[in-house]
Structure 1
């Protein structure tokens, strides 16, 4: 019996370490999968070290999961060779967003929560645009705004074949105060697009993962979409998650900001599950000032007795469940969901 226990413990210890062969194999697969090309051997060695640390963290977490000590497994995502600073830049959001009512605002007081569907998935309905990758630029605020607009345009046109839109235009052409690759605001992204009266496609205005405010290349002759206005959840609404459910069910996907703490960030960045995301820190009371990541709310539903929001992220298709995550719903307001929500009018 003692020998059996020792063998089991030894097998766990082996699985928690990484051999040179495993590292080389995983590293080569990672570079190929995410098309990584580095400036020189020195940079590649540096990135490989970051990747090795990520791989060790993931394997340790998964061993603990197999032992019943953790609630979820992790996986390798496109952020595996990022520094902590780059990851932080890659998830800065539309914080300090204030409510502003668009010209088409509805208060939804005529709709009861019991009157809407128990679940809705705009992705399954075919109206969500492709999942994109913001890379090391902290432009989630621009991706969130564009993602919601793309979905609303698809719903309005009853197709998913419309051109996808340019986040780079927002980065380059919006006012300096709107944001850049360090941080930004959903509201200011939408306000710029509303005032500009036109949006280029991301084919004509390609994403570069950097902001160049002195080189706006917007071409109004190639505009493929227009934002008529935008609205938000009013400050006086008490049950914001109920309001959000009504909004998503009746109007479609929306842009929203959430809070990801420093302690939760490692798990969030490496999320590779179809389970519901919930953490102790997200369960605490979140204020608007703490919101630091922007996403698109693409639906809601329930799984194994728990309610969730279906969110679309901007970390590429290899993050989460093909770029999506189930975030705990009716937590209440897990990770601050519902505190800052905007829906575009197209």
Structure 2
């Protein structure tokens, strides 16, 4: 087994080395391969020409980035036919942090990082559901929430099978009357509203309420709630949610080590072409726009690239860290020993509750990963 692992690691490193030195000599062939691999088709020749233009620009970006020997590599992901602005508009409009104060958990005193495990990965404990794909819907908040509800139900009853609860149930049924993070459904919301909904009505399984809102031709599915609380037995319920102290690295690490995963708000505008390694591509001297929700499932240290936070995303398994090994969908964010901070200057451009009055937010950690972390409390299986 050890020999197999060493050979596999060698193969992975060889693929990564090749990607660092990649030269795309035939963009047309690369585009053909890309369309086949990711099942891409376009409605017209004009649209295909436009997508190919964006694809060519991304190939140049990938070549340049990977030649600079950074801690992470870029590659041809399913987003490679989009410009950065198009990527943000189509895949990062579903998480907007609350523009008002939220209840926080009192920080535990005297947290000593040296006393915590060197690495944590909740996948190893069998409490993390498979990576999903939110598709063309701003429902990251629902996927992050559903992932956390499933994890904590399992953590609180390890004798029960891990059950995947339905993001669609939350997308279609969790109300957002104050328009926090959008107007609800595919137009954005926040995890605390999902956790609160689950405390009142519970959540059914993915099998009972399958996800359909990610289909661009399935418009309207996010606006019609097909759940009847008077007739349906739910699978899991919460007692609400709690929030960690904002921008507190020790609190986040202690929680991950001793309690469970976290639902995390992040700035993901530059993640589209991420292919592996420890990502450090969110500059602190520019606007850090928090626009996505993910599941923070651990932390660790890469022997070459240093400390990282481990994140489960909702863009499918043909993206991100693990993609080259057939188990993608994750990203490792650089974890500095002393967190660096910056400012989100655009919380009101869709990034807060209507009339919230917040004009800026102090955010810390790579891509603001320490800014806003929450989790469901009292989560239990009901059947």
Using structure 1 for the length normalisation, give the TM-score.
0.77
Which runs of 5 or more residues in structure 2 are unaligned?
A: 1-21, 322-327, 340-364
**2:115 aligns to what?**
115
**2:226 aligns to what?**
217
**2:142 aligns to what?**
142
Q: Distance in 1 between matches of 2:210 and 2:129?
A: 17
Q: Is 1:197–1:226's contact at 8 Å kept on the other side of the alignment?
A: yes
Cα RMSD between the aligned structures? 3.1
Q: Distance in 2 between matches of 1:285 and 1:234?
A: 24
Q: Distance in 1 between matches of 2:42 and 2:194?
A: 32
Using structure 2 for the length normalisation, give the TM-score.
0.70
**1:6 aligns to what?**
none
**2:335 aligns to what?**
329
Q: Does 1:253 align with 2:261?
A: yes
Per mean C-alpha deviation after superposition, the further-off stretch among 152-161 and 113-122 is: 152-161
Q: Distance in 2 between matches of 1:277 and 1:136?
A: 24
Find the partner of 1:184 among 185, 189, 207.
189
Q: Distance in 2 between matches of 1:318 and 1:114?
A: 35
Q: Distance in 2 between matches of 1:17 and 1:115?
A: 47
Q: Does 1:279 align with 2:281?
A: yes
Q: Distance in 2 between matches of 1:168 and 1:122?
A: 24
**1:29 aligns to what?**
33
**1:226 aligns to what?**
237
Q: Does 1:243 align with 2:251?
A: yes
**1:12 aligns to what?**
none
Residues 1:99 and 1:256: Cα distance change in structure 2 (over 3 Å) = farther
**1:165 aligns to what?**
165
**2:59 aligns to what?**
55
Q: Is 2:136–2:213's contact at 8 Å kept on the other side of the alignment?
A: no
Residues 1:198 and 1:73: Cα distance change in structure 2 (over 3 Å) = closer
Which runs of 5 or more residues in structure 1 are unaligned?
A: 1-14
Q: CA deviation at 1:140?
A: 1.7
Residues 1:157 and 1:255: Cα distance change in structure 2 (over 3 Å) = same
Residues 1:113 and 1:175: Cα distance change in structure 2 (over 3 Å) = same
Q: CA deviation at 1:61?
A: 2.9
Q: Is 2:122–2:298's contact at 8 Å kept on the other side of the alignment?
A: yes
